[in-house]
């Protein structure tokens, strides 16, 4: 009983806590950066950071393309790491872009969905790590069968991504991301629709 409790605490500290901290850091860092930019008189840069953030998030989807084998170069693990970092950094820039302007609903709904997607991404990472750990013993079997260590690692990684719990998670993560994408696209279109920088200079 006590051992199970200790295990849970250990699990929380090792796997959940780092992602909670990353999320808190994301929010705090973006607020601090925004405040610094405004204090230095560079508040307008936020407008362009939105474009940069969206760009980074779009680029991060290269992992999804690699996963469905549209191309096969590079390790899937490396693409996943890139997906996570690019999405985190993209979210950071978009949070600065959003500032604390509570006037319009659409951009704020997009920001909210983006943050939910980030949390969902963190959850996926934890789940994947747990599934991979549970099938780690299969790696030695594969090596004994004559598969190279690198290949065995790749197979275990891929197997973990296809685990049942991961499929269930993905069934949530994808629609959330799609919702965020929809709101972001609508925000971009409406901004371009009304933007004053089309006009005479």
As given in the structure block, the two tokens for residue 163 are 């685990």
In the complex, minimum distance from the CB of residue 101 to another protein, in angstroms, rounded to a whole number: 7
Q: Is residue 170 a contact point for another protein (CB under 8 A)? A: yes
Query: Distance between CA atoms of 145 and 53, rounded to whole angstroms?
Result: 45
Of 108-167, binders to another protein (CB under 8 A) are 109
Distance CA 66, CA 27 (A): 29
* Distance of alpha carbon 14 from alpha carbon 177, whole angstroms: 26
58 binds another protein per the rule CB under 8 A: no
For the CB of residue 140, give the shortest distance to another protein in the complex, in Å: 26
- Binding mask of the shown chain, residues 90 to 119, with x at each position contacting another protein by CB under 8 A: -----------x-xxxxx-x----------
Cα 44 from chain centroid (whole Å): 26
The least distance separating another protein from the CB of residue 71, rounded to whole angstroms, comes to 16
Q: Alpha-carbon distance 68 to 63, whole Å? A: 9
Answer for the pair 144, 157: CB distance below 8 angstroms, yes or no. Answer: no
Minimum Å distance from CB 110 to another protein? 9
Quick one: 26 or 45, whose CB is closer to another protein? Answer: 45
Q: What angle do CA 9, 14, 16 make, to 5 degrees?
A: 80
Contact positions toward another protein, by CB under 8 A?
68, 101, 103-107, 109, 170-171, 174-175, 177-179, 181-183, 185-187, 190-201
């Amino acid at each position: 009983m006590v051992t199970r409790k200790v295990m849970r605490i250990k699990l929380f500290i090792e796997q959940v806590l780092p992602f909670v901290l990353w999320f808190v850091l994301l929010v705090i860092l973006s607020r601090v950066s925004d405040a610094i930019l405004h204090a230095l008189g560079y508040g307008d840069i936020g407008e362009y950071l939105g474009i940069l953030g969206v760009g980074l998030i779009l680029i991060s989807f290269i992992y999804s393309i690699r996963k469905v084998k549209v191309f096969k170069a590079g390790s899937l693990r490396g693409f996943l790491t890139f997906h996570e970092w690019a999405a985190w950094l993209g979210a950071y820039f978009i949070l600065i872009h959003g500032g604390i302007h509570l006037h319009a609903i659409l951009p704020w709904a997009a920001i909210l969905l983006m943050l939910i997607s980030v949390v969902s991404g963190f959850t996926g990472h934890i789940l994947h790590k747990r599934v991979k750990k549970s099938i780690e013993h299969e790696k030695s079997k594969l090596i004994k069968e004559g598969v190279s260590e690198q290949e065995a690692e790749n197979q275990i990684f891929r197997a973990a991504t296809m685990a049942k719990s991961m499929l269930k998670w993905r069934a949530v993560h994808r629609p959330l991301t799609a919702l965020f994408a929809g709101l972001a696209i609508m925000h971009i279109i409406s901004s371009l629709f009304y933007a004053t920088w089309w006009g005479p200079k």
